[in-house]
Chains A and B, each alone.
Chain A
Amino acid sequence: MKKVAKTKLAELFSAMAAWGKLYVPAVSDGIVNFVPWQEGLTVALTALNVLVPPKKFFFPQTETVLSYEMGEDLQLEDFACRAGERAILFAARPCDVASFAMMDKVYLDEPLDEAYRRRRENTTVIALGCSEPDEACFCRSFDIDATKAPGADVLAIDIGQELVLVAQTEKGERLISVLNGLLSEATSGDENRVKDEQEKNEGRYVTSVNLRGMMEKLDGMFAADYWEQLYKRCIGCGTCTFLCPTCHCFDLQEYAAGRRGERIRCWDACMFADFTQMAGGHNPRPSQKERVRQRFMHKLNYFPHQHGDYACVGCGRCVRKCPVNLDILEVIQEVGGAVDGL
């Protein structure tokens, strides 16, 4: 267990940036996002969730898959082998870190996504424990502890004047050894403070949901009237899906310019009317009702059936950001489990 004084963080960032591309949370015009670190940047250490979840580092909103050029022969270039420069993600919150495991189930399973794999492999994730979950945070309900992040390479815990750093994987140990000159040994007092933080965590949530039986209950609800009531106020924007750390759907687009072109993969949202639009004009999800149902069924029924986990980490982004307050807390509450503490 190592530690670093918060006053020394600039030096630490500088050393990390020399080792790999460093991304940190920072505020711009009131919005917190992960941005490339640079000298003099103020790192938003107390901000909870960044706006755009860090899934974008492994599954970018827009990426070129291949390019082609027609000369004498057809020249094809595959972009997957270019993906994955050495990078460090600093201060990912435990809920977002938990989402990586879900993305892995999709993209590291067969057929394996090479670009995704390379990015995952070459990125060292430093999680930062949360000392104050807000009222829309409900990660605890998904067995995520906001002061622990088993999926991260390094876990950082804020103990006041200092950050304690714990390497949790080989990748994490490698990074810690690179930074060793700037770190000091954590004392047993520090260790107690970390323990103390972790013990207090449980009592800091005000919102929790009961998911018992949720998946089974939804098994019989595809044709339920419930969706008829629920969807009406949905405006069909992509806020919930694009900000969701576990949403992983994409679209492939062709960009052609004369004799050359690119194939681009970009995020898509099941809330959009053209998500399931067929070339011939048919749309199997003709109204917003089917689209809203799809989103919640995917998260709370199809995904757990397929992969064993609910596709939600309780980060609360949809709760905070949905323009019409149509979020997963409401669905969980109304379909089955109770929401406590509201």
Chain B
Amino acid sequence: MAAVIGWRKKDFWWQSPVVFLEDPAAAHRLVWDPFTVYSPVKFLLEWQASCAAKVGIFVKGCDSRGINRLLQDKRLERERVVVYGVPCGGKADAEKIRASFPAKGIKDVTLLGEQLVLTVGDREVRVAAEAYLLDKCLTCRHPNPVVYDKLLWEEVLPRQRADESRFARVQAVASLATEERFFYWQRQFERCIRCFACRNTCPACNCRVCIFDQAEPRWLGKANDPADTLNYHIIRAFHVAGRCFECGECERICPAGVPLQELNRKLIKDINEAYGDYEAGLDATDQPPLGTYRGEDPAGFDES
């Protein structure tokens, strides 16, 4: 292996960015803590495009489904990657912690089973972890890696109630009247700054050239106006329909707090209801639901 991709600690207690380690002697820099959230998986694309050597990668449950995503999309050479699976009990939400503790005084945050242990100033505080986990982790159905070469430790139990809350927000918005739904989504998209972080972080968004980056023909105006922003969000969500594996990173890293996962889950819910339950990224050899069909499929329009 020429390198391993994992996480390291940075300046602040809430920063555990991805790191590319080439020197085995620097292995002590690798960390696993409540903030090792960002998925290292998409970096494999550039790695494999630019380097023939093998690479090692650490993956959580959600990240591992990204590996399957890339395999299924024929964008990854599996034999050139060594996958270290890390069963994950959920990651902490720095904003939730910040709301309850003085951020400047926090020295360290650790997850111990179902407890979050914070060092604030010189005192140690223990709280139930659940209240401080990322929303996306509370609805996680696959905390254990689904594809790996080596599993780092024993598997953990999936969170109870993850299923109940999975489509709660989708249902809440779907129950609104048409006009209310429109204004709800306008309010969300209005905050979009068009940074494309949601697309760039998504392992399902792995086209060699994204249509949004094409200058000729230009599918998406560069000006940030409401119609174009809506266009962007419709096409982005649709492009990952049946392929989104619910890692929720698009929503978590959105600087403007646009509930993108809610849009992805709307599509997942509709696909499940019409064409049978399907979870992307669990099996790299199956057929995503929009890439196949059955003669007796129901339609959402007048077929007479």
Using CB atoms and an 8 Å cutoff, list the residues of chain A in contact with chain B.
28-31, 33, 51-52, 61-62, 134-136, 206-207, 229, 232-233, 235-239, 242-243, 251, 253, 255, 264, 266-269, 272-274, 277, 319, 321, 323-326, 329-330, 333, 339, 342
In Å, the complex CA distance between A237 and B210 comes to 13
User: 6 tightest A-B contacts by CB?
Assistant: A237-B197, A238-B195, A323-B253, A325-B17, A62-B223, A235-B200
- Chain B residues with Cβ below 8 Å from A333 are 11
Please tell me if the beta carbons of B200 and A255 are within 8 angstroms of each other in the complex: no
26 contacts between A and B (CB under 8 A): A29-B187, A31-B191, A51-B191, A51-B193, A51-B255, A51-B256, A62-B224, A229-B20, A233-B18, A235-B42, A235-B201, A236-B200, A237-B195, A237-B200, A238-B193, A242-B195, A266-B222, A273-B213, A277-B215, A321-B255, A323-B253, A325-B16, A325-B17, A326-B17, A329-B11, A330-B10
Report the bound CA distance from A323 to B20 in whole Å.
16
Given A207-B11, A238-B196, A330-B11, 4 other A-B contacts at CB below 8 A?
Answer: A135-B103, A237-B196, A274-B213, A325-B15
Which residues, 206 to 221 on B, are CB-close (under 8 Å) to A?
Answer: 213, 215, 221
Measured between beta carbons, the chain A residues less than 8 angstroms from B10 are 325, 330
Q: Are the CB atoms of B224 and A232 closer together than 8 Å?
A: no
Q: Is the CB of A255 within 8 A of B221?
A: yes
Chain B proximity of A234: nearest CB distance (Å): 9
Decide if A61 touches B103 in the complex (CB within 8 Å).
no
Which of B11, B201, B224 makes the CB contact (< 8 A) with A342?
B11
In the complex, A243 Cα to B194 Cα: how many Å? 11
Bound form: Cα–Cα A168–B53 in Å: 62
Q: How far is the CA of A298 from the CA of B257 in the complex (A)?
A: 29
A54 vs chain B, min Cβ distance (A):
14
For residue B223, which residues in chain A have a CB less than 8 angstroms away from its CB?
62, 253, 255, 264, 266
Q: Is B182 an interface residue (CB 8 A)?
A: no
- The interface of chain B, by Cβ under 8 A from chain A, is 10-12, 15-20, 38, 42-43, 46, 103-104, 187-188, 191, 193-197, 200-201, 213, 215, 221-225, 253, 255-257
Given A236-B200, A329-B11, A330-B11: A324 and B18 within 8 A (CB)?
Answer: yes
Enumerate chain B residues within 8 angstroms of A264, measured Cβ to Cβ: 221-223
In whole angstroms, how far apart are the Cα atoms of A329 and B17 in the complex?
14
User: Do A33 and B191 contact each other (CB < 8 Å), given the known contacts A239-B255, A268-B222, A325-B10?
Assistant: yes
Chain A residues near B16 (CB-CB < 8 A): 325
Picked from A31, A239, A255, the residue with its CB within 8 Å of the CB of B257 is: A31
Residues in B with CB closer than 8 Å to A253 are 221-223
Q: Which residues of B contact A251 (CB under 8 A)?
A: 222
Whose C-beta in chain A lies nearest to the C-beta of B188? A29
State the Cβ distance, B236 to closest chain A Cβ, in Å. Answer: 13
- A29-B257, A235-B42 known; A342 vs B12 contact (CB < 8 Å): yes
Expressed in whole angstroms, the Cα–Cα distance for A264 and B223 within the complex equals 7
Report the separation of the CA atoms of residues A330 and B8 in the bound assembly, to the nearest whole angstrom: 13
Interface contact A324-B38, CB-CB below 8 Å: yes
Distance in Å: Cβ of A139 to nearest Cβ of chain B: 15
Q: Which of A51, A136, A232, A323 contacts B12 (CB 8 A)?
A: A136
